[in-house]
Structure 1
């Protein structure tokens, strides 16, 4: 960690140098084995597979972690979208921040719809528990969908906490999904930290207070989309997300990302309008090779009216649009 007493220059990490210097999470090997087995089953079944990343990443400030920086994300978009992918018949690898929202259980979040609030004790003497009548229809729908997904073996969940966990896991999952070719879709909705503190710069123990200020110099997280597109999954259909607080930046930033990394779609969302409005930005078909910065782009806005339909979830339409685009990508069959 760079402080007044221990100054060090920031380092520019490529993906290669990052993985060469930062340690993998202890569960990486077992997680990779689970992914490999899951993907092989889906290949055998002829299923399309989507990787959904969800939730924010932390940046620890000490090796014995007491303090950390966090990202704004409860995982709502990822968890909701995963349900709609499952409903459409996709197998889902749900890679999420530990304790963030998950498919199906998201309907009964501890903060918005606590499950204890819709349970009653029918008979205290026999300790029988019942679901309140008004809650039964929705619970039955959610439970039936969850049980069917479990029966079919269509959902695999993986967890991360730190940005380091996320990067190692994303690489491992992407490489295992490479065998899917164009049947693999990558829905990168996680809020990933832009900066991190390399292990070599961390304080071993808790940072002590009492000096009046704390100065931390962090390094930039490597641009992981570049090797994802060019090396790990050369035929996958890759969707990234761009969140801004200034709507005027959404399309220009999305175009920059597409030009830099050469993937298929950026979904732009304004922080305050994200629940009812997004924009899809993508290269125009046949406009140029993926390596050309000056290629043409197209954008299309998706909006829903929550006043007319308060129960409508925009993720339903986001996933619906991407399913059509993914199918066209599969049918086009042109190797990048």
Structure 2
């Protein structure tokens, strides 16, 4: 029954092209200041749906006023190249880490706000919506009716029950974004909405956020014509302000903040993670390499040695998800953060 075509290998640059690539060893951009926040949000209009979305999120947070609540960001942001967008720059992310982590957080009693790239993977439906697990492969026709193939019924029943529990208990709020601007406006709004939860709030920032964007003053209104620039198209993108420090210090100062650091070069992964901690003063960076992200990650915390979380060969062979190990370790640290924060709340 398994007729899936294997995914093509990840495209790699030639040695010559690598020499001309961006230097990944360069320092991180400086943290955003208050004036950077004002400049960005004053000059980039919020999405039209932001107000209604905020009301929905406020109701969700009030409903869970006594519970632990986590904002999981997931998937990649786009950078439109035209105002009436035809072309855009995208970030690599299917949303697997975020969607999978959200399920394990829900199973451990967290209420989850899932801020995700539209059409990326979602908790529970991820098992059957990816191209390697087409939901039609789990079904068959019997007596003119569509039924679940018996060999998959127990697995699908387990997923269905977990989904129905999260839905019936109002534990999962799905909020989509597409562009970097939509993401940043929504993140800031949700951060302020979550402030009443104080240390019970957890930010699990697994989204792949664009580093550069085209500001409104530079973006063309209509589709860029293919011959507009002759044989080449040259565009100048501005750096996206690094708002993580604003989140830590001002938007949600009592919450525990977790960011992710994805690299392709093992020699700079830890240094980049340490740089992020030093620069933004949050609680945890989860580092991973593109090549091994499904099998190992590293926890980098202030003033503590790195902690590697890995799947054994047997666990990997048994299709154990590394998020089943990541999330208990995260919860352990969040519990310690809540206990530590009791004296100041």
Common topology (TM > 0.5): yes
Q: Does 2:146 correspond to 1:89?
A: no
Q: Does 2:45 correspond to 1:37?
A: no
CA contact (8 A) 1:189 1:240 kept: yes
Q: Which residue of 2 aligns with 1:118?
A: 138
Distance of 2:91 and 2:123 partners within structure 1: 20
Unmatched 5+ residue regions in structure 2? 1-31
CA gap 1:110/1:330 in 2 versus in 1, 3 angstroms: closer
CA contact (8 A) 1:171 1:228 kept: yes
CA gap 1:276/1:110 in 2 versus in 1, 3 angstroms: closer
Q: Does 2:43 correspond to 1:21?
A: yes
Q: Which residue of 2 aligns with 1:8?
A: none
Distance of 1:250 and 1:178 partners within structure 2: 31
Distance of 1:150 and 1:100 partners within structure 2: 19
Q: Which residue of 1 aligns with 2:322?
A: 314
Q: Does 2:332 correspond to 1:329?
A: no
Q: Which residue of 2 aligns with 1:48?
A: 68
Q: CA deviation at 1:335?
A: 4.4
The TM-score normalised by the length of structure 1 is 0.89
Ranges of 4+ aligned residues in structure 1 off by more than 3 Å: 306-309
Q: CA deviation at 1:310?
A: 2.9
Q: Which residue of 1 aligns with 2:252?
A: 233
Question: Quick check: 307-316 or 248-257, which moved more?
Answer: 307-316
CA contact (8 A) 2:78 2:180 kept: yes
Q: CA deviation at 1:29?
A: 0.4
Q: CA deviation at 1:250?
A: 1.2
CA contact (8 A) 1:24 1:168 kept: yes
Q: Which residue of 1 aligns with 2:122?
A: 102
Match 1:165 to one of 182, 185, 197: 182
SS in 1 for 2:190: helix
Match 2:207 to one of 190, 193, 204: 190
Distance of 1:268 and 1:233 partners within structure 2: 23
Q: Which residue of 1 aligns with 2:148?
A: 131
Q: CA deviation at 1:154?
A: 0.4
Match 1:249 to one of 249, 268, 276: 268
Question: Quick check: 300-309 or 68-77, which moved more?
Answer: 300-309
CA contact (8 A) 1:306 1:312 kept: no
Unmatched 5+ residue regions in structure 1? 1-11, 285-296
Match 1:303 to one of 285, 310, 334: 310
Q: Which residue of 1 aligns with 2:77?
A: 57
Q: Which residue of 2 aligns with 1:293?
A: none
Distance of 2:203 and 2:140 partners within structure 1: 42
Distance of 2:321 and 2:278 partners within structure 1: 30
Q: Which residue of 1 aligns with 2:294?
A: 275
Distance of 2:344 and 2:44 partners within structure 1: 32
SS in 2 for 1:120: strand
CA contact (8 A) 1:235 1:335 kept: no
Question: Quick check: 107-116 or 86-95, which moved more?
Answer: 107-116
> Could you give the per-residue CA deviations for residues 268-299 of structure 1, whole angstroms, max 9, x where no partner exists?
00110100111100013xxxxxxxxxxxx431
Instruction: Count residues with an aligned counterpart.
Output: 308
CA contact (8 A) 2:69 2:202 kept: yes
SS in 2 for 1:59: strand
The TM-score normalised by the length of structure 2 is 0.87
SS in 1 for 2:232: coil
Distance of 1:100 and 1:110 partners within structure 2: 9
Distance of 2:299 and 2:288 partners within structure 1: 9
Q: CA deviation at 1:307?
A: 4.2
Q: Does 2:222 correspond to 1:205?
A: yes
